[in-house]
A and B are shown apart, each in its own frame.
Chain A
């Protein structure tokens, strides 16, 4: 049977939980659904179980702080359905989902997508070999299972997350064979003009970053200006080759390599819904077009958190509260003036929470080969289409777009539905055709945007299907 709620929130991370708490305070009836079995999102994943164990110390204070938000969410009176996959959102809005193999639909006054971010796909030769994982994945493995690599690991990447993970790994007694910093030479100079704003707005975060860097430089083999990496092996990774900007190259024994090149907003649901999107040139990614309350171009569908643009947990919580305020306004619970008054302090805090972003975005802007990898690199992991294959199709007449490339090469047709190759294909086409990536655009995304079995579909009862 179709259920009805005032507000359906997809995602129980910082933004979703904060929005739920705020919306409950406005008196709305709220349902939160989430893919994971427990609340917290990726950043505070499994926090309720980890708190009070030695793992909490290893993960650090920014992780522990999440417990407060989780507790407020648990006490908020919002209905919460974990382990639920949302696979379609229709105008209305109406949301279709599956939990425990049973499909159902919910009609909502408003839908808030608090679906966060994913790590930016960062293709390089050998990135599909077992033994290559993302840094975020390795961090999730500590949070959910208390597991660390059982031999010295290589880390290659750029951004705050690999620094944080490396420090956590050392605290947990793990060993790091080497840290390959892929931050490009010269980025410090370009980022410098934005440093003052960052240091003034987020002094503690900046200090923390500097301390992480100092710890790593002291305790592990730290190689700067790495411009190329390659994982080599047959059934699994056996060796790692890297090249620095000055041309120095080395091939080393390596069974496990963790990589990270920043985050990009989750846009799969809003693409499938046909929302308009905007290119963010600072973050080299798209995000749904949003008004000042976080509402997309689809009436009643809102986005908050890193899905609105990468900003971190604090900004995500605030964006969640702002969206809840906008949703209460739309529901007629508060009027324009009240909404504006309530949102003013939230917006001021949001601006502060985002003050380090321009600096970080500029400093950690990925190198060009992340966007346009070498010809032999696999672009689409699912269908194993390499960059040369995409280029060969791009060379045909008529400037093919991503959807034609998909039809010709099968890139983007596998189970991940382009989540790992969408940007890569767009960037390769832009490069080959002398266009800008936002002019090329992305694949069309069709529902269901999560795989679903026919048996699950059949459990939607006939009244739902209409």
Chain B
């Protein structure tokens, strides 16, 4: 849904989205990586299992919750790191775990 307006940075890192390696840039966060994927969603809701995607990008809506390196976090507040794993979330309710 989103694309970079500049050429890939020479010091890009690799993160894994649902197991697939993808390129990311230092300084961006996991949510902006997810916004570049072919399918736009990051989690399903616990109540009706509907898909959700990042909505506010500033930490207030919590619709960008996904598993980052095994912990459920707001991906819009999670800066990427080389080797980071990002997994879309199916219906998990609680943030604190």
Contact = CB atoms under 8 A, between A and B. Distances in A.
Interface of A: 35-37, 42, 46, 49, 53-55, 58, 83, 118-119, 128-134, 136-138, 140-142, 144-151, 172-173, 235-236, 255-256, 381-384, 414-416, 419-420, 451-454
Nearest to A266: B60
Interface in B39-78: 40-41, 45, 47-48, 50-63, 65, 71, 77
Given A146-B6, A236-B41, A419 B60 contact: yes
Given A149-B1, A420-B61, A384 B54 contact: no
Given A145-B32, A147-B35, A255 B1 contact: yes
Contacts of B79: 37, 83
Q: Considering the complex of A and B, which 10 residue pairs feature the smallest CB-CB distances, nearest first?
A: A130-B53, A137-B57, A145-B32, A451-B95, A415-B62, A150-B3, A145-B28, A147-B2, A140-B57, A384-B47
Contacts of B52: 128, 130, 381
Contacts of B48: 384
Given A131-B40, A146-B6, A235-B41, A137 B58 contact: yes
A416 B61 contact: yes
Contact of B27 (A46, A83, A173, A414): A46
Contacts of A151: 1
A384 B45 contact: yes
Nearest to A134: B56
B55 A133 contact: yes
A35 to B, nearest CB: 6
Interface residues of B, number: 39
B45 A35 contact: no
B20 interface: no
Contact of B53 (A131, A145, A382): A131
A172 B51 contact: no
Contacts of B50: 128, 384
A453 B97 CA distance: 6
B61 A381 contact: yes
Chain A facing B: main interface SS: loop
B87 interface: no
A128 B49 CA distance: 12
A146 B35 CA distance: 12
B56 A55 contact: no
Contacts of A419: 60-61
A130 B51 contact: yes
A49 B41 contact: no
5 contacts: A37-B27, A140-B58, A144-B29, A147-B4, A148-B3
B27 A415 contact: no
A83 B76 CA distance: 12
Contacts of A136: 56-58
B53 A144 contact: no
Contact of A118 (B28, B45, B60): B60
Nearest to B40: A130
A118 B1 contact: no
B6 to A, nearest CB: 5
A246 B45 CA distance: 37
Contact of A381 (B2, B41, B63): B63
Contacts of B51: 129-130, 235-236
A416 B5 contact: no
Contacts of A141: 2, 32, 35, 57
Contacts of B32: 141, 144-145, 147
Interface centre among A133, A150, A381, A419 (most CB of B within 10 A): A133
